[in-house]
Structure 1
Amino acid sequence: MSTAPLLCEGRVVIVTGAGRGLGRAHALAYAAEGARVVVNDLGVGLDGTPGPGSPARQVAEEIRAAGGEAVAHGGDIATTEGAASLVRTALETYGRLDTLVNNAGFLRDRMLVNLDEDDWDAVMRVHLKGHFLPLRHAAAHWRAEARAGRTPRARVVNTSSGAGLLGSVGQGNYSAAKAGIIGLTLVAAAEMGRYGVQVNAIAPAARTRMTEDAFAGTMAAPDSPGAFDAMAPENVSPLVVWLGSDACAGVTGRVFEAEGGRITVMEGWRPGPSADKGAHRSPSEAGDTALKLLAAAEVPGAVYGAQ
């Protein structure tokens, strides 16, 4: 009886924020498909402050106990040294790097009028800068490999959110950071394709420490044994593993929404109704034209939490 080959056999994968929730599920799923995994987690609380223990080490031990290969990394990937150390750990431990999954993040939710500068900066730092710096260091390695004649089949999976696609009341900082991650994904895909790097993003919906308060009462696990738990983080990981494998050749610069058993290709900003007068308009004329175009345009999705 033949056994199907593992999807990520021989690949080396970095997963940031992999100590809990979605990141942990991704790390375990990659290991189950034959990948050697660098498990990164700073071990902080929901607000970004340090917490006890080492969740990265625990997940790495869990992978090894199941017969896989993994190494823990506890550096701060929102710093240049931490991000460089992360990539260096993969190269020094396993001799290569094939996939980067940017997943780390936390929340500091406030309504805009109560959102202070520290809350804004902290969320931007971890989510947006915490995506940029590991991507930058990984991309530099892959570019050097390509220029040396060893073009990689590299993959990057970034983590956005429905909040980045539609906005979310009380999460101005988080929504802006997650929208920025989509822009970063599109640019990286365009710039790095020539070096053998594919870059995509996911907007997951799952039950994690970050979402349990926001979706309280709607994300409980099913009571009956064996029932499908639509909000389990493990439901998102299969798509993330596929996007980080050779199997997704040719797929780049795309955003996928993943929730339960549903996968959606998200279609972002593109031209809708348009009118060109070919001459200068007065403000009143511009307003009349805008209203006519809006009447013919699709209604945007509702912002999460809007009344």
Structure 2
Amino acid sequence: MTGATGICEGRVVIVTGAGRGLGRAHALAFAAEGAKVVVNDLGVGLDGAGCSEGPAQQVVGEITAAGGAAVAHGGDIATTDGAASLVAAALETYGRLDTLVNNAGFLRDRMLVNLDEDDWDAVMRVHAKGHFLPLKHAAAHWRSEAGAGRPVVARVVNTTSGAGLLGSVGQGNYAAAKAGIIGLTLVASAELGRYGVQVNAIAPAARTRMTEDTFAGLSALPADVSPLVVWLGSAASTGVTGRVFEAEAGRITVMEGWRPGPAADKGARWTPSEAGEAARKLLADSETPQPVYGAR
């Protein structure tokens, strides 16, 4: 990262799915800013098949060659044992944990009528469960630290997607998982703030293995997203929690979610016809939704 300032000096950061793409860029960026990094990656293919320690070890090599500190973790963070060992790797290697970046994921794109149950389960598992379990184990550690009277300045950065915000044709499983991550982010932010933990999410847009086929014209680089992730993962982001940011190249957008729009109250039960008439009037006064990605 150019113009490094040491914003994460002394912090210990976990990045899941850090062997390639966005995760790799985040890991390198945190290390450049002084963090010690736990590089988690299973080394799987785009569809989650296969397994290799190579990608994680390569990123560790890049960090250490540049004078930083990093350790590889090859466990499956969508399992209880894998997630627990991930947090343990940070604590046993560096004695603390300050930031968790949940980034791991893969795709199995199909139109809904062609989407197999296995493809649904696999994508939900790695994205939704793969966010939940590391977060659960990290949060348990931070709660224990806070309970023992030790100061906690912890940060969690989850990874959602424009598909989770707006939907994406051919990605019903991925969109559902990414929308769920937004809900998890909001709940975790509300529950964990008392322990000194801030939880936010990013919806990145960058050219990676996962996006090169779906968004062929996308030219933004993974490293363009990482500065925001590093800031959210640092102590400098104090007071920012429960928010979702879209990041692409040099553009950062605060995404504003569901909130009450036009409403009507009859004061009694509607008939179906009355409810329909009222709904149509309310829709006429409401904002038009953003289009689903890929819709015609």
**TM-score (structure 1 length as normaliser):** 0.94
1:73-124 Cα deviation digits (max 9, x unpaired): 0000000000000000000000000000000000000000000100000000
- Aligned residue in 2 for 1:61: 61
Q: CA deviation at 1:156?
A: 0.1
1:112-191 equivalences in 2 (<5 Å): 112-191=112-191
- Aligned residue in 1 for 2:254: 265
Alignment gaps of 5+ in structure 1: 221-230
Q: CA deviation at 1:5?
A: 4.9
User: Contact between 1:19 and 1:40, CA under 8 Å: does it hold in 2?
Assistant: yes
1:196-215 equivalences in 2 (<5 Å): 196-215=196-215
Counterpart Cα distance in 2 of 1:145 and 1:127: 27
Deviates more, 1:239-248 or 1:274-283: 274-283
User: Contact between 2:11 and 2:98, CA under 8 Å: does it hold in 1?
Assistant: yes
Query: Structure 2 vs 1, CA of residues 300 and 4 (structure 1 numbering), >3 Å: closer, same or farther?
Result: closer
1:8-64 Cα deviation digits (max 9, x unpaired): 000000000000000000000000000000000000000101144510011011000
Counterpart Cα distance in 1 of 2:94 and 2:41: 19
Q: Which amino acid aligns with 1:270?
A: R
Q: Which amino acid aligns with 2:67?
A: G
1:54-93 equivalences in 2 (<5 Å): 54-93=54-93
Aligned positions, number: 294
Is 2:289 the counterpart of 1:290? no
Runs of 4+ in 1 over 4 A off after TM superposition: none
- Aligned residue in 2 for 1:246: 235
User: Contact between 2:42 and 2:53, CA under 8 Å: does it hold in 1?
Assistant: no
**TM-score (structure 2 length as normaliser):** 0.98
User: Contact between 1:185 and 1:199, CA under 8 Å: does it hold in 2?
Assistant: yes
Query: Structure 2 vs 1, CA of residues 86 and 4 (structure 1 numbering), >3 Å: closer, same or farther?
Result: closer
- Aligned residue in 2 for 1:46: 46
Counterpart Cα distance in 1 of 2:173 and 2:38: 29
1:1-40 equivalences in 2 (<5 Å): 5-40=5-40
